[in-house]
Amino acid sequence: MSTVLATPSYIKYESVPGYFLQDLDSTNATTFNFMTTNFGLRNRTYTSSSNSTEVGTTENQTQWERFARQVWQLNEESDYGVEYKVLFIGRHGEGYHNTAESYYGTPAWNCYYSQLDGNGTVTWADAQLTPNGITQAQAVNAFWAKEITEQNIPTPQKFYTSPLSRCCATAALTFTGLSLPASQPFIPEVKELLREWISGHTCDRRSNMSYIKANYPTFTFEEGFQEVDPLWNATFVETSSAQNERSRSVLDDIFMNDPSTYISITTHSGEAASMLSVLGHRPFSLSTGAVIPILVRAETVLGRPPFPTRQPWTVISTCATLPPSPTPTTDEAKWSGARMMRIQ
């Protein structure tokens, strides 16, 4: 009896330009504020590709209502194997590891202090949010509430988060208490591969599953999520190609198994950058607490994927056993303020 082999296929991602200010090369990521620009949604009208009539341009429609109509129409008119989703990719609020790196300076942080659990006053292993990070997440919550009321923005139908504490806290602070549809409540799913770039930095070593459950009892976990962190390694560093492969894997999982059109992902600066690269979006760095919406076209293509070869992880580079002299990138007052709350 002959064996029929399945035809290989892969998902081709494309960030669709022309809808958000973040798509434009002229938009400066360092100074851009998504909360003063309607998430960056451009003020424009839309034209149907089938009959060349304007879609959703009546005076009583908000810009987000027009955009939602456009996304619906793109999906209605798309070919077989093609779908459009809107991803709200958010970075966690400021964590204690961020203030530690600012205090010690990036060179000293990377080669020495990041391998420690803390400094005896502040703990940054699986870093918690600082008071400023909490305030950042609360501000995004207020912004979402305003957008829901004034723009009737389509809220996420599904929520995903990194398993690291700063992301779980950010997601909870951002979406708890919002006026969400009863059929689409804030019940996030924790996904292992949404974590930060993996290295010997203890801030990126996640807590046990039982700890996450105890602190976020309404959160759910993807199938196969393990009690103990299976990925963090004190000796080896994930290469950029390996991280991009990981990002593609988690995006494939979401796109293949989640029918939602609007999706929230709470993650990290490095992982967000990797996801943007996989999605074909131009580089756009996110400050702590920032969110970027992306319209994604995903097409299932027959054939073997033309992706770069994944490079193996490398050995972490550290400095001498004696700590190097700090080269602060922020003032002592900021660090002193962060030290006020010790994380146990």
Cα–Cα distance, 122 to 114 (Å, whole number): 12
Please count the other Cβ atoms lying within 10 Å of the Cβ belonging to residue 74.
Answer: 18
Helix, strand or coil, per DSSP, at residue 89:
strand
| Amino acid identity at 204 | D
**Alpha helices, DSSP H, located in the chain:** 63-77, 96-104, 106-111, 131-151, 165-175, 209-215, 240-257, 269-279, 332-338
Q: Which conformational region is residue 131 in: left (phi greater than 0), alpha (psi within -120 to 50 degrees), or beta?
A: alpha
Pairing of strands 82-91, 262-267: parallel
At 214, the amino acid letter reads A
Token pair, residue 278, equals: 């996989």
Q: Is 92 marked active-site?
A: yes
Four-point Cα dihedral 277, 281, 283, 287, nearest 10: -100
Given 92, 97, 268, 281, the catalytic residue: 92
DSSP-derived secondary structure letter, 177: T
CA distance 12 to 297: 8
Give the span between the Cα atoms of 186 and 134, in whole angstroms.
Answer: 18
Beta partners for residue 88, in sequence order: 264, 293
Q: Return all residues near 139 (Cβ < 8 A) that are at least 6 apart.
A: 35, 289
Q: Which residues of 99-129 are buried (b: 16+ CB within 10 A; e: fewer)?
A: bbbbbbbeebbbbbbbbeebeeebbbbbbbb
Catalytic residue among 94, 147, 192, 196: 196
- Residues with a catalytic annotation lie at 92, 196
